Structure 1
């Protein structure tokens, strides 16, 4: 028998029965009540003590009636039909013919085709229990009741097995059979439980539950195969057949399935419980944020428990309600000494510059082992600010999934206002570079406590101010404050640079009467390459400034006034490894484009000699009114920091393809020139 069954792998079984025996429209009946009755029968019929009771001629105990619905009607016709198929195996066993379990199993599957997978298993087990329970019920009463009972017992071959000498001889076989039946009952119970979990939670994203449900048809196949084999074993035990009918292969198989189902069911319940607690945390956090009190948010994050461990927060008793909070979020392993050193400097200077600021370290630790505890204490000893230990695993998941806090593994610093408003997704890169002065480079995202900065009405756009302040060239910094001058930052070949110098000179000769001018800044790899260019800047300083500027704008991803600026910066990033020009006027970003576009602008200005008082506006309008078609090459760039999940192409506005931490768009739906 074992060799026949091993001819098919579990995958082959799954493909075969899914295609042939998938559930159809079934006649409704209460599977739960049928399983309760079946379980009661099997629990009693497989008691190992029953064999000893019969050998000792002990009387059966009085038992309570199973607790089932009064409206339950047994699907007796279906059960008897399945019993008939099992009986055909028994008849062959009695006649000494070779028995093939698999064909009988397939016939039973045919009869059960309309029913769901869990119902198939329960019906097959109930049909077996109907016969097996009846056998042992009569075995308990044989010789102690009326002639009707005794006669029925003889027809069922009860005396053949229950004669003391035979039962003593076959006791181990009976116990092995009972063990296999109990294991099959447990497998059926778990199939029923997993299906029930899926029915009530099919909208949840629980991979383990999906995996378990996909395997259920295979488990049902082995359950019914085992039930048929058990029926044949009963016939062997009640015959004069001396050669044993082995069940060891099926015992191993069913025990293996039972172990898998136990683990899957426990894992599913654990994951569903986590989801339930996560939803609870999301609701509580939403309520905490709605109060606009930073302490409510902090208390919710720290005090939410799911593991029984009490949280500990060291240093001081509490964070003040009017404090800005800088959350330093990191794992124990990915924690750099340089970062701690930078944060120490910021922490030490907070009282001098910004008194109502607090740093809180949130270590992300899934499992607090002894080694983790020691590592935490080692790192905590270097931090003179608040530290939280025994953070809830549910909160850790929340921090990883929440778009605003989004922890993906790398250390980060999140800034939150006293009103519980998120001010910045990640300031760690800026802290590494600027220390306590990182506030200046977060403008306009984070405004330190104190009076709001006054923005002159004639200078409404200041998005490039942090960028210019980060540059090395002091002359260029001074030039950026001149509202009458447009700066062309250039990256590209010497030939294009020479052409640009010539064209700009011609335009400057034309527009100087209006008191405006264009100045060129060549971006070079090394300062030595700049030559006589007064406003040159290094490649490193320029791109570092652009990336830090983008970091500061991430927190305003959905704000319309910043989308245009970010689109221009993203275009610039996509040009990084080719030729490009970025145009600015004072602290306003005018455009970023290929040199060819600027050459068209300059040519038009030289030929038409327009009256120009604001160069930036003229260049913007010319580019905006120029017929547009997407570039032939794909737009691809790497966004700094923790970017949003969705990024629109800066050219065609189509959602971009995410490649690791890079973005790519080939402008689908547009003809290319």
Structure 2
């Protein structure tokens, strides 16, 4: 069933499909590229100044619009009216005056005449020129209305008499409001059509379905409905003169406004889809550019760094290394240096920052620098909370940091996520003096060896593991230099943890008692849990007060650092292909991490830096209570072999070991082997809320 649309001046239905075919037949653009945006700016300003209520502008702002008209048109590039424009606008203006006059008006004829006159123009030019012709006719009426309330009111009254204008009709809102609504909708539709013309053709073509649909169907229909509305509005202007002294009813129907408004909504939807397509194409192009830059050999690191940190005009892109100030510096301060890119979101852990700061402050930064690149969600505008988080982190960092969250382009963020696999856990990407990536993530290497990791390359990490395989001494920075002395003296060293205060007290007293009974040199160090809270803090306080309970890490920060470093050792080895099946150190580390994940106490006892025995708290405490330690004193059996014998004798096949990681899933291998039985472990998801 064909839908019909009434032409308001003749009250005769006109079939849309038929008239659209006739209009399409007139469309024969001659290939000229005409920029009508400056003319549209001029027309919009004329209509807004003539009647502020068209866009809801208050009367007191009309003067501001009038004063800015020259600037607006100049900025839009409109310095003169092309002769062809002026001639066609004049022809259409005359056509509107003649064919829209009263009952003798022929809307269809006026519409077809306009399209025939503008046949050589593109669709956007047709609607802008038709709207310009309408503005010329309308502004005469509007000026008379406005001058009636000024010092020129006598002149305005005289012109009103000559034009046969009725004061009642000119001020009757029920007559004018539908008119104003339609004019505003005409402007909205025209702007949308012009926006389609402005779309960059290098990113969108007729091969794009939505763009093709808009160009072939929606825009021609919108042009027809807009010019039809122009004719309807021109008819109303004429009607205001011929009906002077009599009651006049608006000829503009609500259906006409609604139909044009619906067309505008469709244009907006299609524009949004096109903008998204263009944005995707631009993003892909920008991403390929970033990839190409990193694949190219450079003389220095400036090309790489300016690709990562980009601002069109501002060269001072970084905050300096001082915490107290926000002095901006040029990116040139990084030229020719090894650069570590610290990449994180705004929720970077306090522990990682503290350790990195300690390493940075203790090292010689003459040959390398650190730069913080914050990764934030760019899909929504930055709010005050985001900016406050950023400023707070900037104030804590003693190295360079970007001075604005927006300096990292979306294409750079995409590269960081896809090529360097950034998810949540911080990265420390190492670039050499030429900007080449020498290690895609040196965070673990740096947390383990500090400045010894210089120049932070993957090759250096490999060499460090060969020079310093994991031993108890590897934890010297966290436990203290006493551990080296104890190892040299061949003392037994017990590292233990958990947050059960009663077990800690009973275990430490019993362990010290057993050491005396067995007559062995024995030292104990409490290392808490990886997420120490109030209970761990109380235990630390108790051990510090009672020297007979052994030693402990000095505070909760030291405890967190211990576990962060231990996890880094595990990650570093895991990335080098080490597992509990092929690396004994991985088995020891994984056991400690598994103990940490449990709710029970635990202990690991070393002699020297190699011999080790490990057990959960209950098993070891039972061993201390029941074994005859006089045998150890007599030399019948060694201390560690005695514990090992007890564990084997009392071992059951049943066990329940788990590992929990507060890191993104991508950092965890698909398969983990149990450190106790080497069987594959089941991967589970755990949500935890612990108020301590």
TM range (shorter): 0.3 to 0.5
